[in-house]
Chain A
């Protein structure tokens, strides 16, 4: 089962510059682990030391913030569109 993950600019150094990657996972937690396997180092940018999504990072599944779904346990299905978006724009 494969989903598409859109990457923000600051994380593209892990993905060789790709703005979109394919990854696997039954839920967001598994997806993050799969991303870490493919792109070592990326997990600690997305999650804090307790494993939770960092507060300034928003993860969307088909446009919905996972904080309003089941957070890391939000289940995924084939073809879902995931976006990882910094909670702020930065650099005014």
Chain B
């Protein structure tokens, strides 16, 4: 006889009718929370852990939310109008989001990104028909920021730059959508919100909303433990151009995570939870488990910014089975 957990999925329990929508843009947001159970073994039974699956946005990442809000605000303010081209620097996901949104709303999109972003991202953006200018990989995302500024200065009237690093609408998108969704989805029981910092839009916006609803909610950021890291999408603040929207004083804590620990967690999530995510999700999960182990009770929510399909050609998956099979996966939690 199968156990109840299995039976629940083997026997159909009615169906949920998918909603009909007029545009792909209507599918942005309202992502589900996945309860993390198997890899949370050993923590107090009164501690629950949830991950918000942002990979289910139509552009495949959390960046759809900020990109849409920044473009909408640009149109509303008149800064983005017919004849303008959307331009921004990005290491990938925002670029995909802007390329998708630009197609739907009828604006050409130009993106500046370092050549060392994953091949999948380049191909997706290419498939949306956006123009890409590559910056020096040795200069990282800061190099892309600088090159984008230069292109903009040469022809300022041609472009609308959402400027995800400085545009308050980036965080506002999460204040208006991600934060309220999480609060509602946990019936207001959330005690800890944990998210990685790239532009910091997610943690700033959603964190602000959650604190307004309940000042006791702890807002904790996750960042790479070193300037040289392999956590695509995350920024090591101490050595980077600090985003204008980043306000460290609004955070309760910041947890550094090593690339190795984050990668190991990505493997564990794929093997034990059946969810294939990107490395920034691995970092977020690693930090979340660190916090969970110290708690007697609580409801922890973290964000999985995207799924793993965009990283299959990267070093993340090179030889991973060997590392798994010899049992040398190390966890410092």
A binds B: yes
Chain A residues packing against B (C-beta within 8 Å): 6-11, 13, 19, 45, 48, 54-58, 67, 83-92
Partner of B91, one of A7, A87, A89: A89
Cβ-defined contact, A88 with B138, below 8 A: no
B77 at interface by CB-CB < 8 Å: no
Q: Which of B93, B138, B232, B263 contacts A90 (CB 8 A)?
A: B232
Q: A56 — which chain B residues lie within 8 A by C-beta?
A: 228-230, 259, 315
State the CA gap A91–B144 with chains docked (Å): 10
User: Given contacts A86-B229, A87-B116, is CB(A92)–CB(B141) below 8 Å?
Assistant: yes
Q: Which of B199, B230, B233, B279 contacts A86 (CB 8 A)?
A: B230
The 0/1 profile, CB within 8 Å of A marked 1, for residues 254-282 of chain B is 00000110010000000000000001000
Partner of A89, one of B232, B239, B279: B232
Q: Which residues of A contact B116 (CB under 8 A)?
A: 58, 85-89
Rounded to whole Å, the gap between the CB of A48 and the closest CB of chain B is 8
- Bound CA span A77–B90, Å: 36
Closest to A7 in B: B138
Q: Once the chains are docked, how many angstroms separate the CA of A88 from the CA of B141?
A: 9
Chain A residue contacts of B236, Cβ below 8 A: 10, 90
Interface centre among B116, B143, B228, B263 (most CB of A within 10 A): B228
Most buried by B among A7, A45, A58, A92: A92
Residue of A nearest to B95 (CB): A92
User: Top 8 nearest A-B pairs by Cβ distance?
Assistant: A56-B230, A10-B227, A91-B141, A89-B91, A91-B235, A88-B232, A10-B228, A92-B91
Among B91, B230, B316, residue most surrounded by chain A Cβ atoms (within 10 Å): B230
Give Cα A58 to B315, complex, Å: 9
Indicate whether A10 sits within 8 Å of B91 (C-beta atoms), given known contacts A54-B259, A55-B318, A91-B140. Answer: no
The contact of A91 among B198, B228, B314, by CB within 8 Å, is B198
In the docked arrangement, what's the CA distance between A57 and B93, Å?
Answer: 21
Residues of A within 8 A of B63 (CB): 92
Closest chain B residue, CB of each to CB of A45: B228
In the complex the two chains form, is A90's CB within 8 Å of B229's CB? yes
CB atoms of B318 and A88 under 8 A apart:
no
Measured between alpha carbons, how far is A10 from B237 in the docked complex, in Å?
12
Query: Across the interface, do A89 and B113 meet the contact criterion of CB distance under 8 Å?
Result: yes
- The complex places the Cα of A67 from the Cα of B315 at a distance, in Å, of 11
B116, B226, B279 pick with most chain A CB within 10 angstroms: B116
Q: Chain B 218-256, CB within 8 Å of chain A: the 1/0 string? A: 000000101111111111100110000000000000000
Q: Which residues from A are CB-within-8-Å of B230?
A: 54-57, 86-88
Per-residue contact bits, chain B 88-107, to A (CB 8 Å; 1 contact, 0 not): 00111110000000000000
Contact B233 A92 (CB under 8 A): yes
Once the chains are docked, how many angstroms separate the CA of A55 from the CA of B264?
12
CB contact list, B69-92 vs A, under 8 A: 90-92
User: A92 with B199: in contact, given A8-B140, A56-B259, A86-B230 (CB under 8 Å)?
Assistant: yes
Contacts of B314 in A (CB 8 A): 87-88
* Residue of chain B at shortest CB distance from A86: B228
CA distance A54 to B319 in the complex (A): 13
Is B189 engaged at the interface, CB distance under 8 Å to the other chain? no
A75 CB to nearest B CB, Å? 23
Contact (A90, B140) CB under 8 Å given A8-B228, A13-B227: yes
CB neighbours (8 Å) of B93 from chain A are 92
